[in-house]
């Protein structure tokens, strides 16, 4: 698997004596969570994991050299049952995913670490990440943080339709990989499909609405794409990577400074 994580920030490259020397109260460990699942005809199964590694790696490279922040090895497999039915999708159940996070949290807590950030780049994991962040705090007293996607950047240049419903193998994900790993993008195989129309609002929407409907990708997209990758460019991808890395680095620094216990 490609990596953009700086060697000096890779927790798995340390030996146990180096880990033992880390300051327990201030070290922030970042656990990447993503997926291995279909991404249409033009992007690889590892898209979410590659983007996670790409954005986190660039963010870590922006931190001060003495900042005690390390990336843990990623949880590659996620709850991807929305994409079941497409060859190549490898999904775990919600209970399995949460159990893995709990066990990893238990391991870190037993070693005396106090701060853990769950950095997620797969939409199917989002609700579970929010649950587990609180559960890890409650059970192990870890100061746990949740960090998602591109850090909330605006993605200047996206059309309203793509901004609202281009959330799988669309312009943004394609642009990221065109900028960072163009050899993995099959530009001859682009397809476009949307789950809803921003110009025709309905009472029931797929996501981010007071009333939603559950969906499976195969119900609404034969190619597996939800969005339009055709406008994607490497130039936009590089710009968005830089903007996302800056926002993510700022979030990591805030987490690193966040007190372990609330003020009285």
3-14 pLDDT, tens per residue?
A: 999 999 999 999
In a domain, 133, yes or no: yes
Number of C-beta neighbours around residue 229 at 10 A: 28
Write out pLDDT tens, residues 224-238.
999 999 999 999 999
Higher local confidence (pLDDT), 129 or 264: 129
In a domain, 215, yes or no: yes
Count of alpha carbons within 13 angstroms of residue 132, beta-carbon side: 27
Q: How confident is the model at residue 201 (pLDDT cuts 50, 70, 90)?
A: confident
Query: Cα–Cα distance between 264 and 262 in angstroms, integer?
Result: 6
Query: Cα–Cα distance between 187 and 254 in angstroms, integer?
Result: 39
In a domain, 264, yes or no: no
Reply yes or no on whether the pLDDT at 258 is more than 60.
yes
What's the CATH code of the domain at 41? 3.40.50.10310
Query: Cα–Cα distance between 238 and 30 in angstroms, integer?
Result: 23
pLDDT in the model for residue 205: 87
In a domain, 38, yes or no: yes
pLDDT in the model for residue 207: 84
Query: Cα–Cα distance between 112 and 89 in angstroms, integer?
Result: 36
In a domain, 153, yes or no: yes
| Residue (of 182, 187, 171, 164) closest to 225 by Cα position | 171
Please give the model's pTM, rounded to 2 decimal places: 0.96
Q: Give the mean pLDDT of the chain.
A: 96
**Residue 74 DSSP symbol:** P
In a domain, 262, yes or no: no
pLDDT in the model for residue 264: 46
In a domain, 171, yes or no: yes
Task: Residue 79: give the domain boundaries.
Answer: 7-257
Q: How far is CA 56 from CA 34, 60, 78, 150, in A?
A: 12, 6, 18, 9
In a domain, 124, yes or no: yes
SS (H, E, C) 203-254: CCECCCCCCECCCCHHHHCCCCCEECCCCCCHHHHHHHHHHHHHHHHHHHHH
Sign (positive or negative) of CA dihedral 183, 186, 192, 195? negative
Q: What percentage of the chain reaches a pLDDT higher than 70?
A: 98
Q: How many domains does the chain have?
A: 1
Helix H or strand E segment including 33 = strand 28-33
């Amino acid at each position: 698997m490609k990596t953009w994580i700086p060697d000096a920030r890779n927790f798995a490259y340390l030996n146990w004596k180096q880990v033992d020397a880390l300051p327990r109260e201030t070290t922030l460990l970042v656990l990447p969570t993503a997926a291995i699942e279909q991404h249409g005809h033009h992007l690889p199964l590892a898209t979410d994991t590659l983007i996670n590694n790409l954005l986190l790696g660039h963010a870590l490279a922006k931190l001060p050299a003495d900042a005690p922040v390390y990336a843990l090895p990623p949880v590659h497999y996620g709850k991807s049952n929305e994409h079941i039915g497409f060859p190549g999708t490898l999904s775990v159940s919600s209970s399995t995913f949460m159990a893995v996070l709990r066990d990893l949290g238990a391991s870190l807590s037993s070693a005396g670490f106090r701060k853990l950030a769950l950095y997620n780049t797969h939409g199917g994991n989002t609700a579970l990440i929010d649950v587990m962040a609180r559960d890890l705090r409650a059970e192990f007293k870890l100061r746990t943080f949740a960090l998602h996607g591109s850090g909330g950047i605006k993605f200047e240049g996206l059309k309203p339709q793509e901004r609202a419903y281009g959330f799988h193998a669309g312009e943004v994900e394609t642009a990221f990989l065109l900028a960072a790993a163009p050899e993995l993008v099959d530009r001859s195989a682009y397809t476009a499909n949307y789950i809803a129309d921003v110009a025709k609002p309905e009472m029931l929407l797929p996501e981010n609405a007071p009333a939603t409907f559950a969906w499976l990708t195969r119900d609404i997209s034969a190619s597996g794409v939800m969005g339009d990758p055709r406008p994607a460019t490497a130039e936009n991808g590089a710009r968005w990577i830089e903007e996302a890395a800056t926002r993510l680095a700022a979030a990591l620094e805030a987490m690193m400074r966040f007190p372990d216990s609330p003020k009285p």
